Structures are given as C-alpha cells and as structure tokens.
Structure 1
Amino acid sequence: MNMDFTAIDFETANGKRASVCAVGMTKVRNGKIIDQASWLIKPPHGFTTFADRNIAIHKITEADVVNAPSWTESAARIRDFVGNDIVVAHYATFDKSVWRQACEWSGVDFGDFHWLCSRDLARAHLGLQDCSLPTVADSLGIKGLDHHNAASDASVCAQIVLAIAQRAGVSTWVDLDTVTPQKSAISRSGRPYSSEPSIRKSDLPEPNLNADPEHELFGQGLTITGGFELLGRREAFQLAASFGASVQLSTTRKTTILVICDENPHAPGFDLRHGTTKARKAHEYITERAQQIRIMSETEFYVAVGMAPASM
C-alpha cells in the first residue's frame, strides 16, 4: 500500500481552540505505521485555564503541564515530525483550528498542512450514523482505543484510514479519492462540506434589542458568506443577533457588515469582485451606491462575539 501520511490529535484545556495541552502523532509510510510521538503542552498565555469538563474528558490538569514545553517549541517539533505529509485527523475541523489558533495567538508561523478528515471518510465509506472515533474503530474491528489520550487517538485515526483504504481495495490516496463519494470529505477551500440544513428567512433570529447599544454589532445588518471553521451558520446568526445585529441571508441595501469565511478578506490581492455572489453584490453596493459595508473576517467575527481575545 503506497500511502504516506501523519495522523494527529490535539487535546485542549478548555473550550478555546488555542488552549492546546497535548498532541499525539502517528506516521505512516507505505501503509505501515513506522513512528509515533506524543507529549503534554503548556497552553499559550491567556488560554491556560483548565475547565472541569475538559479535565473529565482527557484527565489532564494544570499541574500536569507546569513543566511541559510551550506551544512555540511544540509547534516546531510537530512541524518537523510531519514534514511534507498529508495530515489526517478525526474531525479535522477541530484539530486544524487548534493548530491555526494556537499559532496565531502565540505569534508563530510554522505554515499549515494539507488536512484530511478520517471521520468524513468513514461517513462516506461506512454508512454509519455515528462517526465518532470509538464507533468507527469498533465497526472496523480496531482494538485498544484509549479515547482522548492523544497518542491513542492519533494511532487509531491512522488505522481507520488504512482500514478504509483496504476495504475499498485501493492502495494510494489518488485511488481512495477516486472511490470516495463526492462532497464527503474536504471541499476546495480545505474545509469539510457542510451538512447543515438550509436556512430560511423565517428561521432567522430577531435582534436582541436589549443588547449593549455600544457593541460593534448592535444595529448592524449582518450577512455571512462561506463556511465558518468553528460554528454552524445558524449558531453564528444566533450569536450575532444576541448582540443586537439584524441578520440577513443575502447582501441587501440594509447590509452594513459582510462576514467572509474560508479566506482572509484583508489579504493582499483579495478582491470582492472575484468572490461569492454576496461578495460581488457588496462590491456593487459599495462602489455604485456608496453604501457603507464593513468587510469582516472570520477571526474578527470571533473576536466580536467573544470567542477569541481582541488581540487576535
């Protein structure tokens, strides 16, 4: 089997993705596990609180990481271990956001990886309703999972990918991609395709008129284009409305904020004219009607609704 990749799993101290406290990695060469690595991590400054819920899940406490390496040191070690491999994780959206947010908050840049999701591969190939790591492992006869132990999770994730490839009768990533049903794993943007039901206008929440009138979202007409990495769109709309925003399904004459996900709208070379329908409509209103529309990035939205520190 000619499949090379690294499986990875992160654990976090609390509900913030930047609060990484452990990593496990399993390296595969030619369809065989050849190396493994795992260690505890001291979460980045500002994300060091260990929530009871997280401790109950992974049994890691603040005392356990007192002498653990920092995220900066750990990220460098992870980068060296992974090299140029494809990185596979079970629910890759989570692990990908841990990597990105921990790096961003720590002020380090070790680049990113080409991510694939073993959970989405399992959903596509196994037809399971529950695609949690224990259920998928059990369905494939994979034993020995110590769930939420990062080393064990990464090892089982790697075994899941190899087992799915074997069941599909393929030996390369190209062949596996060929036999995987479309819209089952990763989209062109690198994020999982959304299975969230479509939202109708009648589903939109009303703005909270009792919210802080000084908040940056209060009284704004807000719409979203693209898919959030950390939120479902319904949840994002509800959060925005809770701060007093009037949420919208499309860009209209009442739009004052357009949240752009999947890419950084403040990056050099970004052009609304080459974006989604909502982005192009925003460009039209801005240039032809002098409408004031703030272009907000996904990270800026997280900051606005309190999901990330303002310094991000």
Structure 2
Amino acid sequence: MADTWTAIDFETANQDRGSACAVGLVRVVDGRPVERHSTLIRPPDPVRHFSHHNVAVHGITAADVAHAPAWDAVWRRILDFADGGALVAHNAPFDMGVVRRACAHTGLGHPAIDYACTLALSRRTWRALADHRLPTVCAHIGHRVTRHHRADADAEAAARIMIAAMSEHGTTSLAELSRAAGLRLGRLDAVTAPTPVAAPSPVGPAADRFDHWRRAAETPMPQACPDADPSGPLFGRTVCLSGDLAAMDKPEAWRRVAEAGGHPARNVTRTTDVLVVGSHAGVGKTAKHRRAETYRERGQRIDIITEAELLSRLGMTGA
C-alpha cells in the first residue's frame, strides 16, 4: 500500500490562528511529490483584519485576498487534496491550530487528522544544527528556500525535510519514521459542532493598549502539550514574558510555549526557568526583569532572553 501524505503550510492575517490568508499543499506518494496546490484565502469575518506585523512577514494584504475563496471552500479543497492522509508541517501545532480555529470561526467541523511535525523531527534527526528553523534545516539537506513565508514554498520545504529525514533514518513511511525517531504522530480530534471562539482585537499602532492588557489578564493559561518534543529547548521549562512582543501578543506566545511543551507563567517565581524580555513603555528594566536577576544572584538558574531568542527556540524566524 502506498505511503501518502500531504505537506501543508498556512499564513495568517493577524495574531488569531483562525485568520488563514494563504495555504500551500504538496501531496507526496512513496517519497515523491506528485501534486501541488496553493491559494490565497479570505479570512473568516471575525478575524479578517491584517496586522502590520503579519503583512511585513508574508507580504499579503487585505486587497490581495478581497476576491479569494473563503475558508469553507478552501477547507473542502484541503480535505479533498489530502484524501484522508496525514498532514505534515514545520511546527505542525501551529498549522493544526489554524484548522481548529478557522473551522470554529466559520461553524465548520473537521474529521480526525493525523499529523507529523518536521520541526520536532529535525531536532531528533539533525541534532548538531545551530537551530531547526525551516531555512536552516533546508540548507542542511540541500533544498534552497527562495521565498520563505510563502505558503507554497514553505509547504514544499516541509515535504523535502520529511523526505530527507526518511532517507536519513532508512524508512519508507511516516509510521516507520515516527518509530525510528522516537516520535509519535500527532492527532487532531474530530469536531462535528465547533464551539465559537472570541476574536481578538486588532493589533497595531491604533489598537487600545489597555484592551490588550485586559484580554491577556482574562486569558486562561494553556497547559503544556504532553506530546511535544521532549528534546525541544522549552520542553518542561517554566516561561514568563515581560513587556510586549512585536511578533505576537501574550496569549499567542503562551499558546506557542505550551505547544512546545513549556509551562507559560504570568509572574517570575522560584520555579521560573526562562524570562523573555520584550519592549515596554517605561524606563529601565521591568519589575519581572529585576526580580529574575535577584533570583539569579541567589543561585537560581533563569535564562533571560530576547524575543528573537524565543522565536528561535520556538523554531520560528528569529535569532
């Protein structure tokens, strides 16, 4: 029986996972790419705004997607293209989060979907690399990424990484590769009637700063994903954020830390392992930053890192 799977990559319009604005797909059969598809997407109405940060990353604007197909049509196409096979993505929990929230925003269900993460796989396969971001891994395997953050290019890159990892481990299927690398396939559980999700306020210079603080304060802390890669740099570590991040708001950063197996925390305590220092409107260091330095002076091991270093540890664009 043929080993068939589909590499996938989403781009989003803003910090909400459900704001899909582009998707790239590469269908692979027995280790060979056989079909490709990509399209822009008109994001679901509740999250249709484009943030300046996301536009700066992928270059897609609201005008570009004005006449693009809506999520419901694109989602049917994705399901037809994958034809029941597993999905593969670099930092797959993010892409599976896009599916989950875009379907919730539009009242659509989805079947159970098996998926594999080439970020986690790369950490197990090429441990000596300085980092395991998509361009770094592709450079190592000899695949040139010329348009990083274009959905079609990044889906192609994820497919090439998976194929290279199969060759490295001497396997011929996703199931065999997962066992050889000591990773199990992830699974997005089926949903028939999604619970509507609240859409965040737009992020940008005109956004109400107090509203973002209030929303962060009201957001429950996500739990660490038990299926995350144990060899990841944030797995099992308690991570606190200080100040504002340029790439995402705090709830999104907390979700990404939890997906990596970390424990997001609101405050610096004796259990804190990592403090991420962002920007802030005040002068000097924040109270969290000063508290972390005090704990370090007393012998506690706390990494104090920048936003770029956090992005790198998450396998995103960064240091």
TM (normalized to structure 1)?
0.62
Question: What does the per-residue CA deviation read over 1:7-49, in whole Å, with 9 as the maximum and x for residues that have no partner?
Answer: 0000000111011100000000111110000000000012111
Contact 1:118 1:157 in 2 (8 A): yes
Q: 1:177, 1:183 → 2: CA distance? A: 5
Give the unaligned 5+ runs of structure 1.
Answer: 206-227, 243-247, 250-312
| Structure 1 stretches of at least 4 aligned residues deviating more than 6 Å after TM superposition | 187-190
Decide whether aligned partners of structure 1 residues 85 and 73 sit closer, same or farther in structure 2, where only a CA change above 3 A counts.
same
Q: Distance in 1 between matches of 2:235 and 2:68?
A: 42
Secondary structure class of the residue paired with 2:64: helix
Pair 1:237 & 2:237 matched: no
Higher relative contact order (CA 8 A, sep 6+): 2
Q: Provide the residue aligned with 2:14 in structure 1.
A: 14
1:217 corresponding residue in structure 2: none
Unaligned runs of 5+ in 2: 189-224, 242-253, 273-319
State the alpha-carbon separation in 1 of the partners of residues 54 and 86 from structure 2.
Answer: 28
Aligned to 2:176: 175
Residue of structure 2 equivalent to 1:193: 229
Aligned to 2:75: 75
Matched to 2:228, the amino acid is: P
Q: Which residue pairs with 1:126 in the alignment?
A: 126
Give the match's secondary structure for 2:22. strand
| Aligned residue number for residue 101 of structure 2 | 101
The answer as to whether partners of 1:97 and 1:230 remain within 8 angstroms in 2 is: no
- Residue 156 of structure 1 corresponds to 157
Q: Which residue of 2 aligns with 1:48?
A: 48
The answer as to whether partners of 1:120 and 1:185 remain within 8 angstroms in 2 is no
Question: Is the 1:76–1:110 Cα contact (8 Å) retained in structure 2?
Answer: no
Cα 1:78/1:198, change in 2 over 3 Å: closer
Deviation at 1:2, TM superposition (A): 5.2
TM-score after normalising by structure 2:
0.61
In 1, distance between residues paired with 2:86 and 2:170? 20
Q: 1:197 to 1:152 in 2, by over 3 A?
A: closer
Identity percentage over the alignment? 32
* Greater Cα radius of gyration, structure 1 or 2: 1
- Alignment partner of 2:93: what SS? helix
CA distances 1:193-221 after superposition (whole Å, capped 9, x unpaired): 35436468xx999xxxxxxxxxxxxxxxx
CA offset digits 1:36-83 (Å, max 9, x no partner):
000000000121111111111110000000001111111111111111
Q: Contact 2:23–2:41 (CA<8 Å) still a contact in 1?
A: yes
